Structure 1
Amino acid sequence: MSWTEVIIEIAREHAEALSDALMEAGALSVSVEDADEGTDQEKPLFGEPGMEPTEAAWDHSRVVALTDTDADQAAIVAEAAAAIQLAQVPAFTTRAVADADWVRLTQSQFEPIHIGTNIWVVPSWHEAPDPDGLILELDPGLAFGTGSHPTTRLCMEWLEAHPKPGKSVLDYGCGSGILAMVAKKVGAGDVAGVDIDPQAIESARANAERNNCEIAFYVPDEFAVSPNERHAKGQFDIVVANILSSPLKLMAPMLSGRVAPGGSLVLSGVLARQAEEVAAAYAPFIKLGVWAEQDGWVALHGTLGQDTVPAPRSPA
């Protein structure tokens, strides 16, 4: 089987609506790219973990829709344009994408990722580069967290550097479940993950099963009524949350309250310039300091009951 890509260059204000309309009109998938990528006009957009990017499109956007080759591409574009009341049907180009090419393109974008000292995140179609390493088999796509984002890497490196054999761990905002799985692989006992997105929970459960990790995953309402008393109302030896700075600040009382006395809290999804205000939100409950920084992002950590701000990670 083969597919055809439909490529439309369009102004920013129409990109998101056109994407949705193309899906309704019969496209199999749609992505939005920077039409100026690779030029002096390129404009990077960055979303933060657990949230959509604050901007949905570029000033000069390229909408790429994947369609069945047998479909009427012109009709799909015309229907989508009419649905969002564009003044005229936008011009478009097409490109044939063979089955083998599509699979190869998708897989070539994801190579094994080496994190910390011994962690490897390996897509299912790859052999692990180091079979003696801490291997996580994880296919990207459904939920945030493949190890490629600096915030995920920082949390994984913290967990690897602070093994707690038999200890309990809560991964709040778990996405793909990757942090919960790292915790389990480095020896944690009772591990739970929570995410507001039911699709993320479904993905996390599948990933945990693939990696032979016994982890309980919940949406928040399920978490609150779990038959496991610790999960429903109790405290954990380690609480890790890789979300966004604003929700992290709002959740300071709740997340801090989930940390057992002498336990650790690890936060990421925080830009370096946001670290001070996030730490201030947690100051009434726990003293947080920057553990490490990577590409402008930081991981904060602290120990409940410790009155001093913890030291950063020692240089390698």
Structure 2
Amino acid sequence: MAWQQIHLQLTKDQVELAEALFYEAEAVSILLEDAGDEPLFEPLPNEEPLWADVILTAIFDTHTDERFLSVDFEHLAQDIAATVRASRVWLTTLDDKDWTREWMSHYTPIKCQGNLWIVPQWLNAPDPDAINLILDPGLAFGTGYHATTRLCLDWLSEQDLTDKIVIDYGCGSGVLGVGALLLGAKQVLAVDIDPQAVLATRQNAKLNGVSDKMLVFLPEEFQAHQKEHHIIADVITANILAKPLIHFAPYFATLLKNGGQIVLAGLIENQTEDVKNAYSPYFKIDPPYHYDTPDDHHWHRLSAIKLT
């Protein structure tokens, strides 16, 4: 059996009404996608931005809910489309699958700089003799596929991390912290505001046999631990958004020893200069390094050394 999908193309000011009408019709889920090519990057606080032109997909559970056997979905779609002045309306069906396994099929091992690979937990390592970072991202950010994660991993692969203390601020899945430990770091302190990220990081540390070297915190816990133990790091990784990076510049400077290194990612081209200005009082900044994706998004990485 299949799931019934109704798709509307409409302007963003009509999305809220369309959502209400579809939920009233007992849709089980609604998806919103960009109908054009309008990238949305970093929202302001309390903002939930939408594209100007949106494709809304309402999904109905026709494979287990017998109430929908008699529903005329074509008529329902046309009625709602007329109410919200949709420019297009069409119907599709979605085959029922084992969705737990389906998303896994889109991942393959990733070769990073040097001898480092990221290997999804359910796949075999292409090179058993390489440094293989076994990863199950769960619900947290950081699979290695995103350009900013790769930028940080490639930078870590180029450093001598032997016996270094690393702080991974905004750890997500823990991919950077685990990678640092596999590359020789002595200890990683990983921090994230999302409890799901804390859980994922601990799980991935266990998968890679580095749990004894990985401490994972929510921000308030980290601050208390850092003050109590007077921890000063050799390296900080921060793959987060530009605004928090700017906000944390003076704080990160207090967490690094003189001559310590920091790598910052999550930056688009027009944010790089503002981040550089925030860090220049505390750090000697290397030239920005950029990574161009196939969809023409230009991601930047900054690395720097703390001034003495």
Q: Distance in 1 between matches of 2:116 and 2:42?
A: 23
Show the 5 A alignment for 1:237-256. 237-256=234-253
What secondary structure does 2:225 align onto? coil
Work out the percentage of aligned pairs sharing the same amino acid. 35
- 2:91 aligned to 84, 90, 93, which one? 93
Distance 1:140 1:164, change over 3 A: closer
Matched, 1:158 2:155: yes
Residue in structure 2 matched with residue 60 of structure 1 by the alignment: 54
Residue in structure 2 matched with residue 31 of structure 1 by the alignment: 31
Matched, 1:110 2:107: yes
Show the 5 A alignment for 1:159-308. 159-214=156-211, 215-226=214-225, 229-230=228-229, 233-290=230-287, 292-295=289-292, 296-305=298-307
Q: Distance in 1 between matches of 2:187 and 2:113?
A: 23
CA RMSD of aligned residues (A): 3.6
- Number of aligned positions between the proteins: 291
For 1:65, the aligned partner's letter is I
Does the CA-based 8 Å contact 1:10-1:62 persist in structure 2?
yes
What secondary structure does 1:127 align onto? coil
Q: Distance in 1 between matches of 2:132 and 2:303?
A: 25
Distance 1:203 1:197, change over 3 A: same
Does the CA-based 8 Å contact 2:5-2:91 persist in structure 1?
yes
What secondary structure does 1:191 align onto? strand
Does the CA-based 8 Å contact 2:14-2:84 persist in structure 1?
no
Q: Distance in 1 between matches of 2:140 and 2:162?
A: 27
Q: Distance in 1 between matches of 2:223 and 2:75?
A: 48
Q: Distance in 1 between matches of 2:190 and 2:8?
A: 40
For 1:182, the aligned partner's letter is G
Distance 1:27 1:294, change over 3 A: same
- Give TM-score, length-normalised by structure 2: 0.79
Matched, 1:45 2:47: no
Show the 5 A alignment for 1:110-129. 110-129=107-126
- Structure 1: runs of 5+ lacking an equivalent: 36-41, 307-316
- Give TM-score, length-normalised by structure 1: 0.77
Deviations 1:167-203 (A, max 9, x none): 1000001111110011111011120111111222222
Q: Distance in 2 between matches of 1:288 and 1:196?
A: 27
- 1:69 aligned to 63, 72, 75, which one? 63
Q: Distance in 2 between matches of 1:20 and 1:222?
A: 40
TM-fit CA distance, 1:45: 2.5
Distance 1:227 1:34, change over 3 A: closer
Q: Distance in 2 between matches of 1:129 and 1:15?
A: 45
- Structure 2: runs of 5+ lacking an equivalent: 293-297
Does the CA-based 8 Å contact 1:245-1:274 persist in structure 2?
yes
Deviations 1:137-165 (A, max 9, x none): 22345121111111111110111110311
